[in-house]
A and B are shown apart, each in its own frame.
Chain A
């Protein structure tokens, strides 16, 4: 079964608008962490934001925020005020405490920001 699911292969957003990238996950481990990464065409993995399963508040990092809905097992990434440089692949990933630190990735969403 897919542990991390990103159902949007591609997304378009107008520059300066906000966009939400979806991510759902599946785990029975009560202790887990959720990550979002940005991967430009160069291939580097850029860490964006982290949400722990026990965190009470949604994580925020500058223009990035994570809409964490634990009961629904979703961890959507919200990018506000999109910029042209935001065009890239975005990956949601999960680490489960009982899995030895492995980070498992979703399928990814390719975001294109239009001028």
Chain B
């Protein structure tokens, strides 16, 4: 089946540093990927839609300069949390739509900013 690989699974970083999260579609091409953020026991909030070869589309209220998204190839999208602060600590998860339909999710990244 369609697989989306997300790395790292967890990361701890110091306040003020940047963290990059990768999302790869392993066996299909994804012109679009979606990035979500989830706080404990809460919903998955869509942050942005990543578009291959063009700028990402951000949801209202999401800081574009804070959460940089790059979708340089048909199989790779990255989310960079810039100048991370403790309030950015969260679970980040990506998804893509394989040709067969539906959505395939990455395994998620637990970010802790100390």
Contacts and interface: CB of A to CB of B under 8 A. Distances in A.
Determine chain B's interface SS by DSSP, over half rule. Answer: strand
Interface stretch (B16-24, B65-73, B90-98): B90-98
21 contacts: A35-B102, A43-B93, A43-B108, A44-B108, A45-B93, A45-B105, A47-B102, A47-B103, A50-B102, A89-B41, A100-B32, A100-B57, A101-B32, A101-B34, A102-B49, A103-B34, A103-B46, A103-B95, A104-B46, A105-B43, A107-B42
A91 interface: yes
Nearest to A9: B41
Interface residues of B, number: 21
What is the size category of the interface that chain A forms with chain B?
10 to 19
A106 B102 contact: no
Given A102-B34, A102-B49, A103-B95, A43 B42 contact: no
Given A43-B110, A105-B44, A105-B45, 8 more contacts: A45-B105, A91-B43, A91-B44, A100-B49, A101-B32, A103-B103, A106-B43, A108-B41
Contacts, number: 48
Contacts of A103: 34, 46, 95, 103
Nearest to A44: B107
A108 B42 contact: yes
A29 B43 CA distance: 23
Cβ-closest 7 pairs across A and B: A45-B105, A43-B108, A105-B44, A105-B43, A107-B43, A108-B43, A44-B107
Nearest to A99: B49
B97 A101 contact: yes
A44 B44 CA distance: 12
Nearest to B44: A105
